[in-house]
């Protein structure tokens, strides 16, 4: 095993914006080794007061919609505005494909070498506290390291969107024009969660289709109630290839931020997110703790069998367990 990292060195490195030490710190928080986890908790406590000032933008959409091309173009635009941009990419299937999301070297060619950018795949699968728990912590470290914009990218294939929505300030859904909702696997629920929609690939012969799609989605969103904050999600179109509309996407996010900050909902959402991360992790830890008790695991598996076979109903099975606690 490598020697344990020195927390002071990591904290100072992060606060000085040292990318190599930031990377090491993220590796530390991603470790499942109990000694590393204890150190990671200390590290996070130390940097927490310096985090929180960034805008956290979640981005999702089906494979092929243009997420990485968009992030490249959007990220470079932000860097042009003097921002520091961190991209954390979650691949829900990373345990199977070994992190294919960033395996492709052509992804984000310019951004990956830009001095004010930091791109990192986020270890997800199997981590305690859910798919995005470590991503949330990695985001806090990036913020403490001075990144103003944290982009959290996930492949839109199901559960991960809900979780990403839970760790970002603005949740952006990328859509293709004319592909149909069904084809894109976009469930209504995901559209309801989005703070903004962007139709990608609005260039060349596709511009007109993108414009029609914008009207259609704007109409569809109009039928949904506004978010609890009073924000009405907006739809825009862009081309990550010719850069048109990219500026407008950031303008949408800035408008959203102003709206949320002025009505206090920006803070409310973050507080809810902190609490939900805490509760979720606590539930899991308590559950694991209970499971480690003598015989409980076996008892549960025998009940699971009985419930699956229809020999016992779920409620009475749970009562059986409750009696033993």
The binding site for ligand GDP (CB under 6 A) comprises: 61, 63-69, 200-201, 203, 239-241
In the bound state with ligand GDP, the residue whose beta carbon lies nearer, of 181 and 203, is: 203
In the bound state with ligand GDP, the residue whose beta carbon lies nearer, of 64 and 226, is: 64
Q: Which two tokens stand for residue 252?
A: 């949408």
In the bound state with ligand GDP, the residue whose beta carbon lies nearer, of 64 and 103, is: 64
Q: How far apart are CB 295 and ligand GDP at their closest, in Å?
A: 47
In the bound state with ligand GDP, the residue whose beta carbon lies nearer, of 47 and 199, is: 199
Contact by Cβ (8 Å): 133, 98: no
In the bound state with ligand GDP, the residue whose beta carbon lies nearer, of 67 and 269, is: 67
Q: How far apart are CB 238 and ligand GDP at their closest, in Å?
A: 7
In the bound state with ligand GDP, the residue whose beta carbon lies nearer, of 73 and 260, is: 73
Q: How far apart are CB 96 and ligand GDP at their closest, in Å?
A: 17
Contact by Cβ (8 Å): 152, 57: yes
Contact by Cβ (8 Å): 87, 151: yes
Q: How far apart are CB 58 and ligand GDP at their closest, in Å?
A: 14
Burial 129-163 (b: 16+ CB within 10 A, else e): bbbbbbbbbbbbbbbbbbbbbbbbbbbbeeebbeb
Q: How far apart are CB 44 and ligand GDP at their closest, in Å?
A: 30
| Measured CA distances, 285 to 7, 292, 297, 304, 307 (Å) | 25, 11, 15, 21, 25
Spatial strand order in the sheet of 234-237: 117-122, 85-90, 149-155, 55-61, 170-175, 196-199, 234-237
Q: How far apart are CB 111 and ligand GDP at their closest, in Å?
A: 12
Per-residue DSSP letter, 245: T
């Amino acid at each position: 095993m490598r020697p344990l990292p020195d927390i002071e060195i990591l904290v100072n490195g992060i606060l000085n914006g040292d990318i190599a030490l930031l990377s090491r710190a993220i590796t530390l928080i991603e470790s499942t080794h109990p000694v590393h986890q204890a150190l990671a908790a200390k590290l996070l406590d130390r940097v927490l007061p310096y985090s929180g000032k960034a805008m956290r933008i979640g981005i999702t959409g089906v494979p092929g919609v243009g997420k990485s091309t968009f992030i490249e173009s959007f990220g470079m635009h932000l860097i042009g505005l003097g921002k520091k941009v961190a991209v954390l990419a979650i691949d829900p299937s990373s345990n199977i494909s070994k992190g294919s999301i960033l395996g492709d070297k052509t992804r984000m060619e310019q951004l990956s070498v830009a001095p004010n950018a930091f791109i990192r795949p986020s270890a997800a699968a199997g981590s305690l506290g859910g798919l995005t728990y470590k991503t949330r912590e990695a985001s806090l470290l990036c913020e403490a390291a001075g990144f103003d914009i944290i982009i959290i990218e996930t492949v839109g294939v199901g559960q991960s969107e809900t979780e990403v929505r839970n760790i970002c300030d603005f949740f952006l859904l990328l859509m293709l024009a004319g592909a149909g909702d069904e084809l894109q696997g976009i469930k209504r629920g995901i559209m309801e969660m989005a703070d903004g929609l962007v139709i990608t690939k609005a260039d060349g012969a596709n511009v007109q289709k993108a414009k029609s799609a914008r009207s259609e989605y704007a109409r569809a969103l109009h039928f949904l109630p506004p978010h609890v904050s009073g924000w009405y999600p907006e739809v825009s179109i862009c081309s990550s290839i010719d850069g048109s509309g990219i500026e407008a996407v950031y303008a949408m996010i800035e408008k959203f931020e102003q709206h949320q900050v002025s009505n206090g909902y920006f803070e409310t959402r973050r507080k809810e997110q902190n609490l939900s991360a805490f509760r979720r992790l606590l539930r899991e830890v308590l559950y694991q703790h209970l499971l480690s008790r003598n015989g409980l695991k076996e008892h549960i598996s025998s009940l699971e069998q009985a419930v699956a076979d229809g020999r016992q109903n779920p409620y009475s099975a749970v009562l059986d367990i409750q009696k033993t606690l």
